[in-house]
A and B are shown apart, each in its own frame.
Chain A
Amino acid sequence: MTPSTTTTQVVPTRWQRFRASYLFYSFKRDRVAQISLLIFVALVLAAFSAPLIAPTDPYDLAQIDILNSELPPVWMEGSDPAFLLGTDAQGRDLLSTILYGARVSLLIGFGAVMLQGLLGILFGLLAGYYGGRIDAVLMRIADIQLSFSTLMVAIVVGAIFKATFGNLMFGEVAVLILILIIGIAEWPQIARTVRASVLAEKSKEYVDASRVMGFGSARIMFRHILPNTLSPIFVIATVQIANAIISEAALSFLGLGMPETQPSLGSLIKSGFDYIQSGSWWITLVPGLVLVVLVLVVNLLGDWLRDVMNPRLYKG
């Protein structure tokens, strides 16, 4: 931000601001964050371009040949070079299935966090801004919800859905239902964070200034307070993505998540689990490895963000 020789000011663009920010500076110096972001972006790109880059389409029954089942990865004996990472028990190409599965897992992870964010921000803002009875009611609901484990809620809701709609119908809406279950089960995490930041922001004078202006509560909450609480929301949302992916995998592993026909990483791991004793370890291990790497890099990124945005370490 250097004033030029003339009286007009050089106004930095958004990109220049970002380049000059502490966020970018710390990113440039943090090798772990760089590698994590690289892997994460690569995984996301690969997963979402799965229909373009995957050798086969695991959803297309015509491309699956049961005779190809349980083929090992290419570096082992008895493998088929057409199947880079081998095949699963139904003869699906494991690489393609993992790519499609990662897409499902990421979709559920992001979708669930978006729903959590929506509910959490709304209820957190209301509770923090209005306080009193609204705060008490919303936060008690959150407390009650936090006292159930996410998995328990998900199991109960998932089981009820499955029982009412049947397996076939459930398969069609499974992604949506999982997003709904995980989103609803975990919103209190975000709501509490938002509420805490709102309480801190609410007492600042710029909020008083906007009240003196006569602005409505909604305007003050969403236009003035919310932008100032975004950093902690951002940090917790990153961690929650990893959590949501794990929850989905756990549910699928228990047989309450994605059906076998459109496997996520979790249901892939589960489907291979039955064959692990018979020597076909790759069906479980390879998707398991992908899941671990995915969750690990998201968590590392979240950790890095938390360090950067911690006001005690850096005041922005």
Chain B
Amino acid sequence: MPDVTTHKTTNAEASMQPSTETQTLVRIQDLEKRFDLSGSWLEQLQFKEGKLQRHQEFVHAINGVTLEVQKGEALCVVGESGCGKSTVARTVMGLISPSGGEIHYDGQRIDHLPAKAMLPYRRRMQMIFQNPYASLNPRMTIQQTLEEPLRFHQPGLNPSEVGDKVHEVMHAVGINPDWGKRYAHEFSGGQRQRISIARALAVDPEFIVADEPISALDVSIQAQVLNLMMDAQEARGLTYLFITHDLSVVEHFGTRVAVMYLGTVCELATTRELFANPRHPYTQALLSAIPRLEDDRPTHIRLQGEVPTPVNLPSGCVFHGRCPYADQRCRTEKPQLIPTAGGQVACHAVQEGRL
């Protein structure tokens, strides 16, 4: 991450200052999401041992994720591709309906609300997407893109108020407000991502889900966009749920980190604690994989095998097949998150003191 040092304080440092109180803004409770693979009802019928049976297969994208996002923090969710982190983000935003579990926003359960009842929450929570080349409507000018949510959510505004607000958010993200009549394809990737951020900010949200917002950008632009998001957080008191697979971003940006593996949270801790003292074997392996300049004899932890398929989940701990510390209990019993010094970890070995 180049040029991040120019920013005053990182979030991790900010979090170390004594906070007056922590208040849960979003609570994700035992969230589960399965995607049906088996097609229509007719395709599910199969002959097995002379009997007609209904056979269904699912991708288990999320398996019982419980997370709490505190007001004002930036909770980072990390994990490798396919671990379900984006699915968590989309489920929280209501783009996907969960197969099980609950999502609470400010004390209200929102995962089962009909579209109408969801509207007030739509204004309070917004999303920034991964691909800035696809997240802006190619047939709309920037002005139209930014005005539409405002007109929709605040029909009382007169045209000049809408114009002022659009001007304000464009200015806030560093896009010249005179460029409003241009189309998305006339901008670079970094500028488009700024416009996406402006669209999210236009309705004055308090909670923003960012699904890998910088992974499609040039490295030279990543820091700019990241700093823009941190500035916006400071100026507007935003709360972030930040999905990423880039650990250096987490170190810079996150207040707390949740590490996901195969649809489950295996460790949750403050950023400083996680990087200083990773407890879960998977987190340890993940952190050891960060390349360092002083590495002439790297001590990477090499995991055996591959990530199992989420169609047939392993029994017990999802990580047991690749874990050097796994024993019989790990193969049969699912570990629950247990509190540790700086956070929570789901590992039998840690609980038993073997690790």
Contacts and interface: CB of A to CB of B under 8 A. Distances in A.
A210 B140 CA distance: 13
A204 B134 contact: yes
B283 to A, nearest CB: 30
B152 A205 contact: no
Given A9-B179, A206-B134, A227 B139 contact: yes
B115 A209 contact: no
Interface in B109-139: 115, 118-119, 122-123, 126-127, 129-131, 134-139
B135 A212 contact: no
A204 B129 CA distance: 10
Given A1-B186, A9-B179, A205-B131, A212 B137 contact: no
A209 B129 contact: yes
Given A1-B186, A7-B178, A11-B181, A228 B138 contact: yes
Contacts of A204: 134-135
A164 interface: no
B138 A209 contact: no
Interface string B181-209: 11000100000000010010001000000
A125 B135 CA distance: 20
Interface in B133-176: 134-140, 148-149, 152-153, 176
B127 A212 contact: yes
B119 A214 contact: yes
A187 to B, nearest CB: 24
B202 to A, nearest CB: 9
A162 interface: no
Interface in B81-107: 90, 93-95
B95 A211 contact: yes
A208 interface: yes
B152 A224 contact: no
A8 interface: yes
A212 B126 contact: yes
Given A8-B178, A227-B139, A228-B137, A213 B122 contact: yes
B127 A209 contact: yes
B91 to A, nearest CB: 12
A19 B159 CA distance: 31
A216 interface: yes
Contacts of B137: 206, 210, 224, 227-228
Interface string A233-261: 00000000000000000000000000000
Nearest to A203: B134
Given A209-B129, A209-B196, A214 B152 contact: yes
Interface residues of B, number: 34
B152 A213 contact: yes
B178 A216 contact: no
A214 B178 contact: no
A222 interface: no
Interface in A194-230: 204-206, 208-216, 223-224, 227-228
Nearest to B93: A212
Nearest to A228: B139
Contacts of A205: 129-131, 134-135
A9 B183 CA distance: 13
B131 A212 contact: no
A14 to B, nearest CB: 11
Contacts of A208: 90, 95, 127, 129, 135
Given A206-B137, A228-B138, A214 B115 contact: yes
Nearest to A204: B134
Contacts of B179: 9
A214 B139 contact: no
Contacts of A209: 127, 129, 135-136, 196, 199
Contacts of B130: 205
Contacts of B152: 213-215
Nearest to B121: A214
Contacts of A216: 115
Contacts of A9: 176, 178-179, 181-182
A206 B118 contact: no
B129 A214 contact: no
A214 B95 contact: no
B234 to A, nearest CB: 23
29 contacts: A7-B176, A7-B178, A9-B176, A9-B178, A9-B181, A204-B135, A205-B131, A205-B134, A205-B135, A206-B134, A206-B136, A206-B138, A208-B90, A209-B127, A209-B135, A209-B136, A209-B199, A211-B94, A211-B95, A212-B93, A214-B119, A214-B122, A214-B123, A214-B153, A215-B152, A223-B148, A228-B137, A228-B138, A228-B139
Top-7 shortest CB links A-B: A214-B122, A205-B135, A227-B139, A205-B129, A205-B134, A206-B137, A204-B134
